[in-house]
Amino acid sequence: MDKFEAMQRFVLVAQFGSFTKAADALGLPKSSVSSAIQGLESELGTRLFHRSTRSVTLTQDGETYLPQCQVLLAELDALASQFQRNSDDVRGVLRVDMPSRFATTVVIPHLSYFLEKYPNIRLKISSADYRVDIIKESIDCVIRVGNLDDSSLIARPLTLYRSVNCVSPSYVEKYGIPQSLAELANHKLIEYSHTLGNLDAQFEYMEGDKVKQQSMPSSLAVNGTDAYLDACLAGLGIAQLPAIGAENLIKKGLLISVLPQFEAEPMPVSLLYSSRRQPTKRLTVFMDWLQSITLAR
């Protein structure tokens, strides 16, 4: 068997934690996948997996071997893709992770054009609000909203999200509409944070070119964009939402804009990919397309 095919099967078994699931994904018998792994282990002179009736987990050597396999396979894929010059030639699976609200408001409405232009690309979109490991999970690129803190990834700026301070009609009935920063002491803020730490709730706003924060009461913190919006719609507090999704809800009367003179700092939207991999042609055309639709908004 080709060594690179065996490495691909090893990576899939590691990702699924199962020989059966890896075989199903490849459309092969389980014995074929098992034989490939055994051949690799024999050649390397070490066991790559701990096998039991309930689970398949990587050995220490397997954990060392996995990322190197992923990088090597990605480089081979990128090399082959450089010769895909026509749109019909650009092919393969493209795995992208992005916030669910970005997917529904920005990407999905325009996706038919991209898929029609590149019919041989199979796009897989995941929507995780947590920080995915793009090497370990074989993700080609991720879209992130907010400040970046991972220097191991190459960032391509896409756009800026303006924020809108929003409450629901039911919240207004109970608490009214704040008219000043001082009145925020009598209101509730829905906190959004990836880490859900113990920091005090802060209402963020711009004063000239400086970012300011105002402490205020809060009874709810979330780390997911869907939960953040849903909590605001349910009347649980003030949320500082991206205007791109909130403005349509404001027009429908589902949300109300408050304190428009105190908007939060615009949030950068970036596309990130691994510095350890040469971008494939399909990733390059996707990045170019995504930048075109975000700049056009």
Residue 12 lies in a domain: yes
CB 12 within 8 A of CB 18: no
The partner residues of 202 in beta bridges, in order of sequence, read: 215
CB 241 within 8 A of CB 161: no
- Quote the pLDDT of residue 244: 85
What token pair was written down for 265?
Answer: 């700092």
Q: 176 in helix, strand or coil?
A: coil
211 with 291, same domain: the answer is no
E runs forming strands in 89-184: 92-97, 121-126, 141-145, 153-161, 163-167
Classify the C-alpha dihedral 149-155-160-165 as positive or negative: negative
- Quote the pLDDT of residue 196: 65
The number of folded domains in the chain is 3
257 with 282, same domain: the answer is no
Residue 87 lies in a domain: no
188 with 152, same domain: the answer is no
Among 20, 51, 81, give the residue marking a domain's end: 81
Among 62, 81, 100, give the residue marking a domain's end: 81
Return the amino acid letter for 244: I
The pTM is what?
A: 0.67
Among 29, 60, 81, give the residue marking a domain's end: 81
H/E run at residue 3: helix 3-16
- Domain residues for 180? 163-265
- Quote the pLDDT of residue 199: 60
110 with 202, same domain: the answer is no
153 with 168, same domain: the answer is no
State the helix-helix crossing angle for 3-16 and 60-81, rounded to 10 degrees.
Answer: 120
Residue 44 lies in a domain: yes
- Quote the pLDDT of residue 5: 84
Residue 86 lies in a domain: no
* pLDDT less than 50: residues of the chain: none
Residue 32 lies in a domain: yes
CB 214 within 8 A of CB 181: yes
- Quote the pLDDT of residue 296: 60
CATH of the domain at 127: 3.40.190.10
